[in-house]
Amino acid sequence: MLACALGCGVVLADSAPVKPAMQAYDQITVLRDQADALVDPKHPDPAKLKQAEIVLQKALREMDQPVIDGLAEGNVYLRYRRYNVLYDLVHLYLLQARRARALDTIDALLAIDSSPGEWLRDPSISGPLSDEPRYKAILAQQDSADRLWHAKSIAVPYSPQLSEAQRIAGLSLFWSEAKYNFVHFDHVPQLDWDQTYLDFLPQVITAKDTRAYYEVLMRLAPLLRDGHTNIYPPEALQDKFYARPPMRTELVDGKVLVTRVFSPTLVKQGIHVGDEILAIDGIEAHRYAHERVAPFESSSTPQDADVRAFSYGLLSGDKTQPLHLSLRDAAGATRELVVLRGDYSDVQSPVAFAFRMLPGDIAYLALDHFESDASVKAFEQHLPQIMNARGLILDVRYNGGGSSNYGLEVLSHLSNQPIPTEVSRELQIDPVDRARGYPRLEWRKLPDSGEPYLKKHASIFGGPVAVLIGPRTFSAAEDFTVSFDAMKRGLLVGMATGGSTGQPLQFDLPGGGKARICVKRDSYPDGREFIGKGITPDIVAAPTVADIRAGRDPVLERAVAALRKSPSMASPSHGGKS
């Protein structure tokens, strides 16, 4: 029985102990799979459907046991296994034409989670129940909740002109969502959010059109000083705000430099890596960044702000408006160029997830992003070379994030021990306490937050590792860095990270715009804060102007030098059994 397995403390051979909650989760999953194997929706067999019901009811009884029920309170995955089983039963009852029983089970589902998403309107549910008054009442209740949380009456589609009421409503929506959900108000103690609302109100009232409205509104989110809290213009206006030539710029040693050029057209025009941008549209480059770019860019740290002002946003703007650049080359010669923001047909993207073997049998892999499993596939594609390498360098300097799980999958190839993960908290505001005159802000640890990650492999890479980081290391890439650092698995080399991660609450705004507000704050497993600060490297290294112009990568060079000093580099192979 499940309870016996939990009480007996089952441990997998040659691995860390499996937590009791996950043991329960796995065994409930086995029962779900058994029931699923008995059900054929196209050709339902009454006898097999009855057997499947018995199995699923058994799963519910197991979860009703006090020990399992207690474990579920602290484990969201196990808690929602009950939801999954009830969901299976709804479909089972409908296949048996037991509509009343299906509706009772839907009520039980909504008691667990009142926001069921789209499944409640799936044809497999709506078809058999469409004429049931109880089902219609459930849908009406869901529509009411949807109107409350999604503000569809306010978030109207794009139009070149929005009414004054709609413009005010959009400002009010962002202001109110932030006031009650933004998790980092303690990072902006001098900000009077109510006064900010009053300051912006006349500006949105006088905005002449939707573009002007978003030029005002996009200045609001950056006041909260959080990289995961933003306002974005409508898709129809993207080319008015975000068009930019295919080149990369950076602030290096106080100079605004061209660091990458992705179009031969620009090269022929006379733009080269290492050129210094002196002025943009007749305005000195630093002043242009601070006055024309920074007010629209949300950021969590000074280094993050520099990236957004001098890299991501510096040359962005209206596609129809060319840039007038004043440049100075390495020899000191100056020149003026007019550069288009778009319509380049020869853009050459850099190699994705670049891999190479460096001298001394050191493997290098750039983990460009965690937006998909491409990073995991790239790592596993090169795993044979990595396993035979004497050292490993993982580069997340340009990784803007995605899903933390992909980063953990990569890290699981470096250790057979559970991997520490960040601790997450959410803001708690108690309206009853406010009514009693005791308003306060509290942060509650999320269930399962900080739970170690464990995925077993036949062998792991046990050699020395360095991770390259910088101010563009952001969001899920910082979660990756936190876990790697907490593993004590190797060195962090480079510059401080962007200092921003978390869970954004996303919602629509009037005219087709989008907004997001950070509602989750993360820290190291031991409580150390990095939001608003960045993660500090073990070895500080940064490129100079001379490095950029010579094509050198001093961060990579420092990492290679550090690995070569590692005593374990003497071993030709570091593959280990897990």
**Tokens representing 325?**
């650049």
Distances (CA, A) of 136 to 55, 139, 141, 533: 30, 5, 9, 51
Query: Residues of the chain with pLDDT > 90: what percent?
Result: 79
Query: Computed over its alpha carbons, how large is the radius of gyration of the chain?
Result: 28
Please report which confidence band the pLDDT of residue 118 belongs to, taking 50, 70 and 90 as the band edges.
Answer: confident
User: What gap in Å lies between CA 335 and CA 328, rounded to an integer?
Assistant: 7
pLDDT tens digits for range 248-297 = 999 999 999 999 999 999 999 999 999 999 999 999 999 999 999 999 99
pLDDT higher than threshold 50 for residue 2: no
Q: Which residues contact 306 (CB under 8 A, 6 or more apart)?
A: 251, 471
Q: Are 178 and 517 in contact (CB under 8 A)?
A: yes
Q: Are 519 and 503 in contact (CB under 8 A)?
A: yes
User: What gap in Å lies between CA 536 and CA 492, rounded to an integer?
Assistant: 8
Find residue 423's DSSP bridge partners: 523
pLDDT tens digits for range 449-506 = 888 998 889 999 999 999 999 999 999 999 999 999 999 999 999 999 999 999 999 9
Of 306, 316, 368, 374, nearest in space to 341 by CA: 316
Beta strands at 442-445 and 423-428: parallel, antiparallel or unpaired = antiparallel
User: What gap in Å lies between CA 391 and CA 574, rounded to an integer?
Assistant: 9
Q: Report the pLDDT value the prediction gives residue 575, as an integer from 0 to 100.
A: 56
Return the number of other C-beta atoms located less than 10 Å from residue 516's C-beta. Answer: 20
pLDDT tens digits for range 48-99 = 999 999 999 999 999 999 888 888 776 777 888 899 999 999 999 999 999 9
Q: Which residues contact 108 (CB under 8 A, 6 or more apart)?
A: 86
Q: Report the pLDDT value the prediction gives residue 146, as an integer from 0 to 100.
A: 77
Q: Are 79 and 73 in contact (CB under 8 A)?
A: yes
Q: Report the pLDDT value the prediction gives residue 448, as an integer from 0 to 100.
A: 76
pTM (two decimals): 0.83
Supply the DSSP symbol for 114.
Answer: S
pLDDT tens digits for range 299-348 = 999 999 999 999 999 999 999 999 999 999 999 999 999 999 999 999 99
pLDDT higher than threshold 60 for residue 576: no
Find the angle CA(313)-CA(378)-CA(227) to the nearest 5 degrees: 30
Q: Are 38 and 52 in contact (CB under 8 A)?
A: yes
Of 270, 288, 272, nearest in space to 280 by CA: 288
What length is written for the chain? 578
> Given the structure tokens 């869901």, which residue do they identify?
142
Find the angle CA(346)-CA(308)-CA(258) to the nearest 5 degrees: 45
